[in-house]
Amino acid sequence: MITAGCDVGSLTSKAVVIRDGRIIGSAIIRSSSRPEISAQKVMDEALEKAKISQSDVEYCVGTGYGRDNIPFVDLARSEIACHARGAVWLAPATKTIIDIGGQDCKAIRLDKNGRVEKFLTNDKCAAGTGRFLEVMAKLLGVSVDDLGKMSKKSREPVTLASTCTVWAQADVIQYVNSGIPLEDVGAGVNNAMAGRVATLANAVHAQREVAMTGGVAKNAGVVKSLEKLIGHKVTIIRKADPQLAGAIGAAVLASDVKEGRA
C-alpha cells in the first residue's frame, strides 16, 4: 500500500510518501503565499524521489494551516493529530511531544495508548517559534543552524528581559553594540526560546518520554536548555528529519484509514 501526507505550514511545506510502513520519498520546501501551489510542488518532489506518480498513491491526508486548500488530499486532519501519530510512529515510547513550528509551538501529552490526552498551542505570538529564532539569527548575522551551536561556545549567556520578539530584538541589539560576545548573546536567545516553550510543556504536565519535532529540534542549545527547565531528557528523533513529523503522521493516518484502524 502506498499512502502520502502533506503538511503545509506557514514557513515550510513538507510531504512524505510511505509504502508498506517505510518512507520511500520526502521533501521540504519554503511555503509560498498560496498553499495549493506549495502543496503540489512539495508533493511532486516527494513523488519524484519515490519514483512513482500521484496516481499510485492510494490515500493522502493533509495537515498544517493550509490543509483545507490542498486539492489532491482525501482527508484533512489537525496538526495535533498528525504530529502525535508521527511522533509515536517514529519513537513508540513517546508520551509528550513538543513541536516548534515556524509560527506556533505545541505541547501534546499522550495517554498510555498514544492518543492525545491534553495539548496547548502558542499561536498568538512569535516568541517560542521558529520565526523568533530566524529574526534573532538575522540580527546576529548568523544562520539559524549556527545559532544553535553558539550555546556550546558561550561562557556567560545573556538574559533577555522579554521573550516578546519586538523587545527581545532591542535587547539583542543593545548587547551586540555593547561588545558582548556573539556566542553569549546567541546562547541567551536559545535560553529565552526554551523558557517560552517550557511554559507550555509544564502546563500540560510533560511526562517521559519527551520527543521534540519541528525544525527547532535541530537546535542543540534550545534542546539542552529545555531539558533543564522541564526536568526530562528530550529525545531528538533520528529515524527521519524531525521537521517531517507532521507529514509522516498524516501519511501513517492515511494508512490507518485505508486499513480500517481510524
129/77: higher pLDDT: 77
**Same domain as 84, residue 105:** no
In tens, the pLDDT along 21-40 reads 999 999 999 999 999 999 99
Q: What pLDDT, on a 0 to 100 scale, did the predictor assign at position 145? A: 84
Q: What pLDDT, on a 0 to 100 scale, did the predictor assign at position 38? A: 97
C-alpha cell at 250: 498524516
d(CA 31, CA 118): 29
In tens, the pLDDT along 83-128 reads 999 999 999 999 999 998 888 899 999 998 889 999 999 866 767 7
**Same domain as 230, residue 104:** yes
d(CA 210, CA 232): 7
Buried b / exposed e over 81-113, threshold 16 CB at 10 Å, is: bbbbbbbbbbbeebbbbbbbbbbbbbbbbbeee
Return the percentage of the chain with pLDDT > 70, whole number.
98
**Same domain as 112, residue 20:** no
**Same domain as 156, residue 220:** yes
pLDDT over 80 at 262, yes or no: no
**Same domain as 210, residue 251:** no
**Same domain as 162, residue 51:** no
| Prediction pTM value | 0.90
**Same domain as 131, residue 30:** no
pLDDT over 90 at 42, yes or no: yes
d(CA 200, CA 184): 25
Report whether 143 contacts 217 (CB < 8 A).
no
Report whether 260 contacts 240 (CB < 8 A).
no
**Same domain as 54, residue 164:** no
**Same domain as 136, residue 150:** yes
In tens, the pLDDT along 211-255 reads 999 888 889 999 999 999 999 999 888 889 999 999 999 999 999
d(CA 45, CA 206): 36
Torsion of CA 96, 239, 12, 148, to 10 degrees: 80
Report whether 11 contacts 101 (CB < 8 A).
yes
Q: What pLDDT, on a 0 to 100 scale, did the predictor assign at position 261? A: 80
φ/ψ bin of 179: left (φ > 0), alpha (ψ from -120 to 50), beta (otherwise):
left
For residue 163, what pLDDT band results from cuts at 50, 70 and 90? confident
Q: What pLDDT, on a 0 to 100 scale, did the predictor assign at position 124? A: 63
Mean pLDDT score, 150-156: 93
Instruction: Work out the angle between the directed axes of helices 182-203 and 220-230 (0-180°, nearest 10).
Output: 40
Averaged pLDDT score across all residues of the chain: 92
d(CA 49, CA 170): 44
Q: What pLDDT, on a 0 to 100 scale, did the predictor assign at position 104? A: 86
**Same domain as 75, residue 110:** no
Q: What pLDDT, on a 0 to 100 scale, did the predictor assign at position 123? A: 64
**Same domain as 19, residue 149:** no
260/246: higher pLDDT: 246
Mean pLDDT score, 58-81: 95
**Same domain as 135, residue 111:** yes
CATH number (domain holding residue 72): 3.30.420.40
Q: Residue 28 sits in which domain range?
A: 1-91+243-262
Count of domains for the chain: 2
Q: DSSP character for 126?
A: S
Report whether 9 contacts 31 (CB < 8 A).
yes
